[in-house]
Structure 1
C-alpha cells in the first residue's frame, strides 16, 4: 500500500522465484507513453544540469513510490526515485547529468536590517546570483528552478523582491518555487539574480 492506496497486481505469466530470502524483480506490465525531454537546473541543491523526461502515468493503476531502474536505448542509465502517481498523473524522471553545462550559485548581497524606532521587527534581504555556462555546439533551453523560503508562521513574512530578481520568471508562491526558461547560445553564458526579503521578530534567528 502507498498513499492510502491498496493495489493487487496480477502477473501475466507464472514465474519462478528462488527461496533464498533475496528480493527479485518480476515484470508485471509493459506500456509505452509519449514523453517530453528537457534540461533542468536546481542551483540551490546541485551544481549540475540534469536531463529529465516528463510524462503522464499511462497505466490504469497507480505507480507506487520507490526506486526505478532507468534505461535509454537499451543502455543502463542509473537509478532514480519514483514518486506515487495515480493513473494519468504527471511524472518527472531524471536521466542523469548533462556534463556539457556548468552551473554556479552564490550569495551576491545580504542585508540584515535592525528594527527601527518603535518597531520590534527585523528586515532581512538575500540576493543570490546563478551563472549558467554552455559547452554545447547547439542552442539549448534550460529550466532553472530556484527556491525561496515558505513561512509556516504568521509572524514571519517572506516575499520575492521582484525588482531585484531577474525578469522572465514564473513564481509558485505556495511552494516558494521560482522558475526561469533560459535560452543559451552555443558556448554562451547566462546570469540570473534571485532576491527575497524576510521580516521576523527581533529576537528570532533565521537559519
Structure 2
C-alpha cells in the first residue's frame, strides 16, 4: 500500500509553450523503504519529465499513475438540480392536466344525459297532446351550446396533456443522461522512497505540462518633465494556462529557453568547388540587381524578424524573468497579466515623417533601456498625456541600448510626395544615367510652429561600375545629414498655417556593360 500525500504547487516556470511545475512541502515519514503517492497532479503531466527529491533520503523510482474513477450520480446529491426540479414540476403539471381532462369527460357525459332526457320528454309529452315547442327549442339550444363548449375544452385539454407528456419524457431522458456516472481521471506520482531515520522531511516533485504559454507585453507612457520629456515603460508577462490544475499563490518564473528543441551537430557533406573560364558575354557584362536591405541591428531601428519566428525573440540567449510577488493563475485559458518590472528614463522626441511610406507625421521618442533586464520583442501600448494613442511592436533591446517608439501622428501635419524619373544614354560610351526627382509638400494647418524631420532614402552602390550621387544643386533645402545607408534627413521649421516645398534628387550612373538595372 502506498501512503497518499498532497503537495501544493509552490513554483512554476512558464516556458515558450509549456510549464515546469514544482510541488513541495514537509511530510512525516517512518524510517525505511516505503511507497508514496503524491495526489493532485495534472492529467497532462509528461511522464518522462517526472523528478522527485527527498532531503536526507533517496527516491529509487518515480512514475506517473493515472486511474479512472466515477463521480457520484448527480441525482444522489441532497441538493436538487434545476433539471430535477423541472422534471418534478412537469410531473405535477401532467397530473393536473389529466385530472382536468377526466373532469371534462364527466361533464360531457352529464350534458349527453341531459340531451337524451329532453328528447325523451318531447316524445312522451307529444304523445299525450301536451306539446311545448318553444320550451323544447330553448332547452335543445342550451344543451347544444353546453355540449359544444365542453367538447372544445376537452379537445384543448387532451392537447395540453399530450404536449406536457412529451416535455416530461424529454426532461426525464435528459435527467437520466445527466445522472449517468461521470468518469474522472485521477493523476498521481508513485514514488519508491527510502529514508534511514524518518521524521519530518522535505519532498519536492517537478514535472512538465503542456497547454501553458506566456508572451511579454509593454506599456509606454510619454510625459513632459522639468528637463524635457520622460518615458515610463512597464513590462508585463501575459500568461495563459489550461493544465487542469490551479496555480494558487505560487512563485512564477518566465523563461525563453526551449528544452525540447534539441540540438545536433550538422551533417558533413561533400561540397565541390570547380573553376571555369568566363564566357565572352560574362567578360563584357556586370550583373547587378536592386534589392531591399534591412539594417541588422537591435534597439533603435532594429530589424529582428519577429514575424518569421514562431515564438519568443530573446536575441539568441536564454533569459529567465521572475515575478516580484507570488501570483495566482486560474486554469481558465484566459490571459492574465503579471507585472515584472518598470523604469522611467529621460527621452527626446521629435516629429518625423517618412513620405515614401505614409503622408502622416509621427511623434517619435528616443530613450535608453535603463531597466534591470533586456526587453524582449513584443507589443507595446502607447500612452500620451491625451490618453491611449495606439499600439506598436517593441524590438529586442539590450540593457543600456537606445530604442525609439512612435507615439501617434499629429493631425495638423501632412506630407504629399511626387516622384519623377528620367534616363539619359550617351551614344558614344553607352553610359546610362537615371535621374530621380522627388518633390515633397509639407503643410501645417495648426496654430503653432513645429519642427519637423523628413527622411527620404536613396540607393547605395556596392560595385564600382554603378555610381549613385546626390544632386546638390537640385536638392533644396540642403539636407541636414546623409547616412552611409542612404538615409537623407531634412530638418524643417514649419510656421502655423503654412506649406513648404522640398526638392530631392539623385542620379544612378552605370556603364554600358552593367546589366540588371
Bin the TM-score by the shorter chain.
0.7 to 0.9
State the partner residue of 1:133: 443
Q: 1:134 to 1:23 in 2, by over 3 A?
A: same
Q: Give the drift of 1:142.
A: 0.5
In 2: Cα distance, 1:13 partner to 1:176 partner: 48
- Is residue 342–residue 371 contact of structure 2 (8 Å, CA) maintained in 1? no
State the partner residue of 1:200: 510
Q: 1:170 to 1:5 in 2, by over 3 A?
A: farther
Kindly indicate whether residue 411 of structure 2 is the aligned counterpart of residue 99 of structure 1: yes
Q: Give the drift of 1:28.
A: 0.6
State the partner residue of 1:151: 461
In 2: Cα distance, 1:24 partner to 1:166 partner: 53
State the partner residue of 2:480: 170
In 2: Cα distance, 1:51 partner to 1:61 partner: 26
Which SS does the other structure have where 2:389 is aligned?
A: strand
In 1: Cα distance, 2:332 partner to 2:435 partner: 58
Which SS does the other structure have where 2:342 is aligned?
A: coil
Aligned counterpart in structure 2 of residue 110 of structure 1, from 421, 424, 428: 421
Aligned counterpart in structure 1 of residue 374 of structure 2, from 62, 66, 87: 62
- Is residue 481–residue 490 contact of structure 2 (8 Å, CA) maintained in 1? no
Q: Give the drift of 1:154.
A: 4.5
- 1:60-114 CA distances to partner (integer Å, 9 max, x unpaired)? 322122221112248322111112222221111111111111210112x422112
In 2: Cα distance, 1:65 partner to 1:131 partner: 35
TM normalised by structure 2 equals 0.37
Structure 1 runs not aligned, ≥5 long: none
Query: Highest CA radius of gyration, 1 or 2?
Result: 2
- Is residue 359–residue 414 contact of structure 2 (8 Å, CA) maintained in 1? yes
Q: Give the drift of 1:201.
A: 5.0
Aligned residues: 204
Aligned counterpart in structure 1 of residue 471 of structure 2, from 152, 158, 161: 161
TM normalised by structure 1 equals 0.88
Q: 1:150 to 1:26 in 2, by over 3 A?
A: farther
Aligned-residue CA RMSD in angstroms? Answer: 2.1
Aligned counterpart in structure 2 of residue 6 of structure 1, from 297, 309, 318: 318
Structure 2 runs not aligned, ≥5 long: 1-312
The structure carrying a bigger helix percent of its residues is: 2
Q: Give the drift of 1:34.
A: 1.1
